[in-house]
């Protein structure tokens, strides 16, 4: 748990419950410049690698969406072959460095580890993956090369893990790629949406630079589909189009008073925090309510606490087992001082003169397998409310005015095998299609679709 040290200030000078500079400088550095998981040094990495059984039919490999050969890279760490270990990771997963930091390994590879079944303590696969990739990145080597030019050009919309994974694989196959992104920086959620204590410093941009260094990829930021680009034009000007724009829309809570000052989407709060040049200048409330049960809700709650919020309550409409956040994330939030309240749904945001003062909730229960309100309500005082009840695909850019429109169902682009959409020459992957919304799955989508695009273009 990060211990917060509050800056010295005159309490009589406090004019608002939302203010900047609640902590001293050391507290900000401790809360946001250090990793939530302490990286392994060489001695600890060798000890941890020695715990691996190097299973022949390793269940951890089956559990990894990108099929990293985990026993192979761990064995190479144990023999001091860091370069070989890193290539075992980066070949199937070019975002191996980020995934080592943000993957829910406790529900993927580490949950499948044989050691976990025997000792309830799996091999620390995520930390070993980070050890290998971090050490390799320090060398500055670019291990991948491009094939002979194919003469084909592909447009990629979205510079997040899915888009850049696809672009990198296409560049390796000899194609020219132009990547468009609506934001000012590439990286997607790794840059804008992941908690700062998970991906500290400028690691996300360093990983983007490593990916682009292969060549053959042109990055154009500040260009949004539907505003600066049209799908029809991209289909006309390029041999193929890969859509990986994620889910830019935010679901409304559906409770009254959502337009009060102090209520905002958690993703906007996290993005603002991630891009803030000075965290001491970032305003935060004393009493914060976070609505939702996924990793975004957990990240927003913990980071607001680390910014100096004194009372942070996360409220979820169902029980802990139904939360999208892993058990590890829920436990971590509580050790950070976040209070988690289950079985309650928001009814309305309470305000005074247009400014939030609290959130009213109704207790919920299951009746015949269906969630329903009990009629009993309570109010949690709050000067900030962060909503994290899901994101959705913004459909207008891929539908309005197009000669042919994509098949969209349930707020996601419908794809077939290997990323094919209903339009010829148009592919999609990542969070804008149906899936588990994990970084590692987005990387796999991009890689698989790149191979399909290459096969289709070469006939």
Instruction: Give the pLDDT score at 16.
Output: 52
In the predicted structure, residue 11 carries a pLDDT above the cut 50? no
Whether residue 233 is contained in a domain is answered as yes
Please report, for the domain that includes residue 233, its CATH number.
3.50.50.60
- Show the tokens assigned to 332: 């971590």
**Full residue range of the structural domain in which residue 428 is found:** 153-248+393-457
What is the chain's mean pLDDT, rounded? 92
In a domain, 170, yes or no: yes
What does the pLDDT read at residue 402? 62
Q: Are residues 254 and 329 in the same domain?
A: yes
Please spell the DSSP secondary structure of 97-111, one letter per residue: HHHHHHS-GGGTHHH
Is the predicted pLDDT of residue 384 greater than 60, yes or no? yes
Angle between helices 70-78 and 42-49 (to 10 degrees): 130
Q: pLDDT tens across 212-262, in order? A: 999 999 999 999 998 899 999 999 999 999 999 998 878 889 899 999 999
CB atoms within 10 A of CB 190: 27
Is 173 found in the same domain as 128?
Answer: no
Using pLDDT thresholds of 50, 70 and 90, give the confidence band for residue 7.
very low
Buried b (16+ CB within 10 A) or exposed e, 209-241: ebbbebebbebeeeebbbeebbbeebbeebbbb
* Domain shared by 283 and 177, yes or no: no
- Of 390, 417, 440, which residue is a domain's last? 390
User: Does the residue 35 lie in any domain?
Assistant: no
Looking at the fold, whether 315 and 409 belong to one and the same domain comes out as: no
Contact 250, 269 (CB under 8 A): no
pLDDT for 119: 86
Dihedral (Cα; 428, 433, 436, 437), 10-degree rounding = 70
pLDDT of 428 strictly over 70:
yes
Instruction: Round to whole Å and give the CA distance between 323 and 330.
Output: 9
User: Are 255 and 386 in a shared domain?
Assistant: yes
pLDDT score of 459 = 84
Asked whether residue 9 is domain-assigned, the answer is no
Residues 354 and 409 in one domain: no
The answer to whether residue 432 is domain-embedded is: yes
Q: What is the pLDDT confidence band of residue 8, given thresholds at 50, 70 and 90? A: very low
Same domain, 191 and 109: no
Considering the domain architecture, whether residues 386 and 400 belong to the same structural domain is answered as: no
Q: Half-sphere exposure (CA, 13 Å, Cβ side) for 89? A: 31
- Measure Cα distances from 192 to 267, 298, 333 in Å: 8, 15, 20
**Rama region for 226: left / alpha / beta (φ>0; ψ in -120 to 50; rest):** left
Last residue within a domain, chosen from 341, 370, 390:
390
Q: Which domain-ending residue is among 77, 106, 137?
A: 137
Same domain, 106 and 188: no
Which of 445, 447, 440, 386 has its CA nearest to residue 189?
Answer: 440
Say if residue 215 is in the same domain as residue 341: no
Residue with tokens 């809570």: 253
List the one residue out of 163, 190, 191, 187 whose CA is nearest residue 177.
163
Same domain, 195 and 300: no
Contacts for 276-280 with beta carbons within 8 Å, 24 or more apart? 279/28, 279/32, 279/307, 280/20, 280/21, 280/23, 280/25, 280/28
Could you give the number of structural domains in the chain?
3
- Looking at 336-385, list the stretches that DSSP marks H as alpha helix, in order from N- to C-terminal side: none
CATH code where residue 81 lies: 1.10.1060.10
Q: Is residue 352 predicted with pLDDT exceeding 80? A: yes
Least confident of 149-153, 333-337, 343-347, 394-398: 394-398
Predicted confidence at residue 437, as pLDDT, reads 86
Q: How many CA atoms lie within 13 A of 2 on its CB side?
A: 28
pLDDT at residue 6 above 70?
no
Q: According to the model, what pLDDT value does residue 281 have?
A: 93
Q: Which residues fall within 8 angstroms of residue 64, CB to CB, at 6 or more apart?
A: 70, 108, 109, 440
C-alpha span between 389 and 263 (Å, rounded): 13
The CA distance from 392 to 361, in Å, is 24
Q: Is 125 helix (H, G, I), strand (E, B) or coil?
A: helix
pLDDT at 250: 85
Task: Give the C-alpha distances (Å, rounded to integers) separating 443 from 142, 163, 168, 169, 269.
Answer: 19, 8, 11, 11, 25
Angstrom distance (rounded) from CA 333 to CA 312: 10
Tell me: the pLDDT tens digits for 310-345?
999 999 999 999 999 999 999 999 999 999 999 999
Q: What is the pLDDT of residue 399?
A: 62
- Token pair listed for 419: 């990323």
Share of the chain above pLDDT 90, in %: 81
Residue 183 lies in a domain: yes
- From 11-20, 305-314, 345-354, 436-445, the region with the lowest mean pLDDT: 11-20
- Indicate whether 342 belongs to any domain: yes
Alpha-carbon torsion, ordered 273, 392, 178, 170, to 10 deg: 110
Give dist(CA 331, CA 369) in Å, integer.
27
Cβ neighbours of residue 146 closer than 8 Å, sequence gap 6 or more: 171, 172, 174, 214, 215, 216
Query: Is there a single domain that holds both residue 282 and residue 255?
Result: yes
Could you give the CA distance from residue 106 to residue 458 in angstroms, rounded to a whole number?
40
- Predicted pLDDT at 15: 37
Query: What is the mean predicted confidence (pLDDT) over 6-30?
Result: 67
Domain-embedded: residue 222? yes
358, 212, 222: which is closest to 291 by C-alpha? 358
How does pLDDT run across 176-195, given as a tens digit for each residue?
Answer: 999 999 999 999 999 999 99
Model confidence at 12, in pLDDT bands (50, 70, 90)?
very low
């Amino acid at each position: 748990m990060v211990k917060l040290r509050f800056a010295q200030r005159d309490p009589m000078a406090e004019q608002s419950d939302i203010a900047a500079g609640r902590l001293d400088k050391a507290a900000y550095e401790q809360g946001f410049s250090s990793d939530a998981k302490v990286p392994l040094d060489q001695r600890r990495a060798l000890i941890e690698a020695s715990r691996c059984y190097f299973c022949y039919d390793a269940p951890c490999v089956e559990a990894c969406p990108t099929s990293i050969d985990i026993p192979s890279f761990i064995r190479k760490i144990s023999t001091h072959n860091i370069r070989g270990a890193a290539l075992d990771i980066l070949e199937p997963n070019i975002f191996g460095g980020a995934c080592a930091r943000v993957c829910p390994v406790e529900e993927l590879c580490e949950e499948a580890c044989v050691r976990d079944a025997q000792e309830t303590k799996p091999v620390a696969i995520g930390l070993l993956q980070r050890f290998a990739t971090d050490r390799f990145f320090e060398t500055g080597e670019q291990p991948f090369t491009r094939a002979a030019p194919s003469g084909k050009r592909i447009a990629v919309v979205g510079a997040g893990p899915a888009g850049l994974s696809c672009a990198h694989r296409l560049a390796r196959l000899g194609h020219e790629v132009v990547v468009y992104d609506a934001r000012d920086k590439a990286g997607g959620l790794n840059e804008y949406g992941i908690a700062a204590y998970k991906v500290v410093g400028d690691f996300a941009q360093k990983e983007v630079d490593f990916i682009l260094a292969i060549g053959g990829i042109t990055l154009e930021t500040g260009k949004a589909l539907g505003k600066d680009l049209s799908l029809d034009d991209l289909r006309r000007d390029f041999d193929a189009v890969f859509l990986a724009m994620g889910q830019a829309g935010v679901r409304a809570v559906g409770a009254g008073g959502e337009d009060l000052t102090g209520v905002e989407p958690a993703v906007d709060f996290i993005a603002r925090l991630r891009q803030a040049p000075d965290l001491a200048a970032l305003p935060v409330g004393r009493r914060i309510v976070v609505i939702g049960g996924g990793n975004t809700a957990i990240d927003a709650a913990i980071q607001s606490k680390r910014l100096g919020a004194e009372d942070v309550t996360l409220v979820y409409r169902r029980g802990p087992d139904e939360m999208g956040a892993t058990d590890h994330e829920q436990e971590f939030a509580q050790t950070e001082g976040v209070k988690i309240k289950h079985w309650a749904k928001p009814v309305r945001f309470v305000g005074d003169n247009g400014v939030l003062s609290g959130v009213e909730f109704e207790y919920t229960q299951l009746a015949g397998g269906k969630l329903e309100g009990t009629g009993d309500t309570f109010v949690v005082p709050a000067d900030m409310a962060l909503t994290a009840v899901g994101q959705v695909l913004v459909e207008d850019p891929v539908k309005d005015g197009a000669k042919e429109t994509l098949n969209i169902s349930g707020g996601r682009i419908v794809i077939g095998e290997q990323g094919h959409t209903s339009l010829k020459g148009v592919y999609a992957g990542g969070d804008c299609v149906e899936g588990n919304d994990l970084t590692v799955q987005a990387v796999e989508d991009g890689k698989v679709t790149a191979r399909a695009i290459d096969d289709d273009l070469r006939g």
